Structures are given as C-alpha cells and as structure tokens.
Structure 1
Amino acid sequence: MSQFSAGCLIFRLDVSFFGWMSHFSAGCLIFRLDVSLFSQLSKFSAGCLIFRLDVSFFGWMSHFSAGCLNFRLDVSFFGWMSHFLAGCLIFRLDVSFFGWMSHFSAGCLIFRLDVSFFGWMSHYFPSFLNFRLDVSFFGWMSHFLAGCLIFRLNVSFFGWMSHFSAGCLIFRLDVSFFGWMSHFSAGCLIIFPAFEIFGWMSHFSAGCLIIFPAF
C-alpha cells in the first residue's frame, strides 16, 4: 500500500499478526492493535493502551479519550475545511502548489513539502529542511530529528495522558474551558487561548502573551 502525497511517494505495508495490525512505513515496523471494549474504540500502540470513544451529537464529532470529552465539528465552506473545537471556529484550506502541500489557516499561508530519503521522512518548512526518522525500540517510540535522538513513550494513568521524553516523565491533561484550551502539566495548570494575529500565531501561557510567526 503506497500513498502519493505532495510529490512524495510513501510506501506503506499493512500486515497482521494474531489480531495485531501493524504497518511498515519508511523502514520502521510499528505494531498497533485496535480492539473494542463496550463500544469504546481503543488502540494498543507501542506498549500503551489508549481508550477512545467516538460519538456524534447532532453533526458534532466528539471523542472521549482518557477521561476528557472533546467536541469537534468539521464543516466545509467553499473548499475550506474548518473545524469547530471547544467554542472556537478555525478555518483551514489545504491547497497544493507544484508538489508542495500548503495550508491556509487564519490568514496565514504555510508551505510544506514532504519528501522521503531512504527511509527518512523529512519535511521542508519555509527555507529549511528538517530530517525526521521514526523508529521503535521495545515499545518506545523515538524520533530522530536534526541529529538528535529523542525517545518518547506515551502512557496513560487514570485519565491522564503522560509522555516520557528524554528521561523525564511529564504528566499532561488536556481540557477545554469555553473556547480555551488548557493543559495540566507537571502540577501546574496553564490556561491559554490559541489564536492568530495577521499570520502570527500567539498563545497565552501562564499570564504571559507570546506572539510568534507560524512557520
């Protein structure tokens, strides 16, 4: 099974091992098991069992994951793909320019080109080339990014989603409050609105407004 995306041919092989669904992509074999528990859809990936329940409310698509119910509505406006998430309407338009994949989001046009080099997955982002290789080590999911190998393990503790990255265990809980997206990380609750100002992406974090260009 191969897919051609933005001028890049990506090979993918889906195989099955005793009820497991694995895919071999870019030289890395990733095991994934999709099971159903009382109408819940869970996936067992890289040693971590994540429960997810997808339900629908009057055209809304919501998913219940790790104890948090997130509502999401996908609608289309004249070729635009927008999603309504937690009280905030975000417009997104995906277009293609000569093998480039770009997305137009909230007044900012971002170009992205995905290419593959001998099992490496790289993306070309505004004038600089980033190489990324995803590999798996005994239930760990690591990615090799720009000469640095970062290990990451996603596990779940009683509704918490934590990630183990580079020897440090960080707990994170994502919740939403009336259009605000907050995350609870390492004992500190950070609430911030994510919005864009004339192509700039800003986030309000811990009482400080940080504005930066999104590219």
Structure 2
Amino acid sequence: MWLDVLVRETGGDELTARRVHYVLCGQHLIGELWQDKTIAEVHIRGTRVMVVDKHGIREVSGFPTATVAAQAIEAVEAAKERMRAVITGIGDSVVVSRIDATPLTASDLITSGALTEDLASQVGSALEHMDAVTVIGPAAHVVIRAFASFIPQESRVFEGPYGILPNGCVAAASPLDADYVIGVRPGVPAEPMAAAGQVGALIANPETDFRAAVRLVVLGRISSIRKVTRVQEAAPF
C-alpha cells in the first residue's frame, strides 16, 4: 500500500519510489538490491557493498556511513523470514544470501563436462587428507563452493570471503580454530597455515602462490564454466 502511495507521489517513478520505500523501512540499499532476483548474495563490509550475481562478483555504490549500514543490516535481520534471507557474519563482513539460492555442485560440473570424475576424485582425496586445494579464475569461488561437500562432516570450517559452510560442519571463528578454510583470498593467517599443512583448505585466487596438493584453473565465466583443469603439481613458496 505504501509503495503504491510513493509511486503516485513520485509521478509514477517506481524506481525512486522503491528507493524511498526501503529508506523508510530501514533496509536502505540492501532492500533495493534484494529486488534483483539475479543477485544471490549481498556482502557488506563497513560501508562497502559487493554483490554476487550470475555475472560474478562486483562492487556497487555503498552506504554513506557505517551507522546507516548497521541500521540496514538490523532491519534486514528483523525481516529475514519474509525476505527468505540468511544473514551470516564472516570475518568483518556481513553476508545476506537467499535461502532458495542453489549453489553449483561437483556433480553439476561433471554432468556439464567441465570437470572429470578423476579430477573430482583427486580433489576429494586431497581434502579428506586435510591438504590444500587452490583454484584460480573468474569463476573460482563458484568451484570451491561446489567442492565444499568433499570436506568431512563435523569438521570445523573457517569461512573466508565468499566461503560456504558445508552441510554437517561447524563454523570456526578463525583459521586458528579450524580444520579447514574455505574462501576467496583469505590471506594471513589462513594461507600460510594451509601452505604449512596446518589446515585443509579450499582457496580461490589465493594472495600467495603457495604449495598446494591440487592446483586448478577454471576457464569460462561464472554463468558458463567451460573447463576445470589441473595445473602444475606444486609451486615454490
């Protein structure tokens, strides 16, 4: 009802009316972005905002102040059931993701021909032995999420940026408390720990070129992954 009133007050400008509506209800930018069904996740870090959609990860115009950002997160938390959203704290970021978003699985990659069963088995074996798997390429974060099911249940998992908590696993507050690390460029201390064999890892586009048990490269865009291939067995520290 209020949206209809605002549309009339803005002379039929629905875009402006919706922006005003989400400001008035406290959700601000998050509520506005949530109307785009192609957006699967909204990441808020301070005043900066990143979205994950079918084209990949991109930054959008953020919040004017940290206070406004905090108010928007609080409003979305209160409305999460109606929005069908999950709100997760990952490091110093807050991630708003859709309940009904369906991540790609390793089986999906195999069925599409982008991944061989043999390579999937190598990844699964490496993770079972708490080794590190790294993936590079624009769609790398999609692939590490697809591999997350290979992590043994009941493991303690630290979610780095754009990570995911596998079914049956427990969230760890930091890499120091974790059995595994999943994420994009998690940096220090996660990557050095993975390089030293102190944690198992699924790392996309790592900051450092460290020695991993399985190193992969992904060809193609996020919306159309063409091939996942293995590169050289190891790289120098």
Instruction: Name whichever structure is richer in helix by fraction.
Output: 2
TM-score band w.r.t. shorter chain: under 0.3
Instruction: Name whichever structure is richer in strand by fraction.
Output: 1
Return the TM-score normalized by structure 2.
0.25
